[in-house]
């Protein structure tokens, strides 16, 4: 019963974020959620950071301790923690929430952290500067616009990897289709090549009114040409 009550609480928190989709409202939501974020996504059984890291790992053959990873929408640092356990050692984080960045800083994993509202402001990094670019959880309806993936590609070194995730639940299918069209368009233009797409049935526990149990999701791994 206690776990059900906790899930219902987290569900209410997340659904409240859908009430106002303005950029200011989104930042305010994540600012307030930062303190309980890690605890709440654990309740949701949100394993996207692990899925993404495990998708990247077999394909990355370079020197991991010296490789520079750009962690976009880094939140509290869940992706960096996963990659650190796989041998990566240098991280630059970008997020739109200052409280989230403060928690990311407290992990001691990041060499640099930058505040940026993705989609509204240009990505505050140099072109062709990163061995790996990760964006986990933010590419979804009402969050980061699809157009941002071009900036991810531009930030990556030739031969480097870009790892992205999105949800495959009913509410996100239109966004997911647009995202995949953009990924394919950049491939047709010779900017990157698709390395792997991983589909996951149990991405996280469902909080919508459409699905029950768990929602599916996907990891997209591309290599910059």
Rounded distance between C-alpha atoms, residue 147 and residue 103, angstroms: 28
Residue numbers of the domain that contains 87: 46-224
Residue 68: inside a domain: yes
pLDDT of 54 reads 98
- Look at phi and psi of residue 77 and say left if phi exceeds 0, alpha if psi is from -120 to 50, else beta: left
Residue 209 CB coordination number (10 Å): 9
The CATH number of whichever domain residue 119 belongs to comes to: 3.40.50.150
Q: How high is the mean pLDDT in each 10-residue block of the chain (225 residues)?
A: 82 82 87 96 96 98 98 98 98 98 98 95 96 97 94 98 97 97 98 98 86 89 98
Residue 7: inside a domain: no
Residue 69: inside a domain: yes
Alpha carbons within 13 angstroms on the beta-carbon side of residue 55 total 29
b (16+ CB within 10 A) / e for 9-29: ebbebeeebeeeeeeeebbeb
Task: Give the mean pLDDT of the chain.
Answer: 94
User: What 3-state DSSP class applies to 79?
Assistant: helix
Residue 9: inside a domain: no
Residue 66: inside a domain: yes
Residue 180: inside a domain: yes
Output the CA–CA distances (angstroms, integers) from residue 150 to 94, 122, 220, 224, in the order listed: 16, 11, 14, 11
- Look at phi and psi of residue 190 and say left if phi exceeds 0, alpha if psi is from -120 to 50, else beta: left
| DSSP conformational letter for 210 | S
pLDDT of 16 reads 85
Query: Into how many domains does the chain fold?
Result: 1
Residue 84: inside a domain: yes
Residue 178: inside a domain: yes
This prediction has a pTM of 0.95
pLDDT of 210 reads 61
């Amino acid at each position: 019963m206690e776990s059900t009550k906790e899930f219902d609480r987290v569900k209410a928190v997340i659904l409240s974020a859908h009430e106002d989709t303005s950029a200011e409202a989104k930042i305010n939501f994540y600012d307030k959620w930062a303190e309980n974020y890690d605890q709440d996504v654990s309740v949701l059984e949100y394993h996207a950071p692990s899925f993404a890291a495990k998708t990247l790992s077999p394909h990355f053959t370079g020197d991991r301790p010296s490789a520079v990873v750009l962690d976009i929408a880094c939140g509290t640092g869940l992706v960096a923690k996963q990659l650190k356990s796989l041998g990566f050692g240098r991280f630059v984080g970008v997020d739109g929430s200052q409280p989230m960045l403060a928690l990311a800083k407290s992990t001691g994993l990041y060499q640099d952290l930058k505040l940026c509202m993705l989609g509204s402001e240009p990505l505050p990094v140099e072109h062709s500067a990163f061995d790996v670019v990760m964006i986990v959880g933010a590419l979804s309806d009402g969050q980061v616009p699809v157009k941002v993936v071009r900036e991810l590609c531009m930030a990556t070194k030739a031969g480097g990897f870009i790892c992205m995730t999105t949800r495959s639940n009913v509410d996100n299918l239109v966004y997911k289709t647009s995202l995949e069209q953009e990924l394919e368009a950049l491939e047709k233009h010779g900017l990157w090549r698709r390395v792997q797409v991983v589909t996951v049935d149990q991405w996280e526990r469902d909080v919508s009114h459409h699905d029950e149990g768990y929602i599916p999701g996907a990891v997209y791994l591309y290599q910059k040409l």
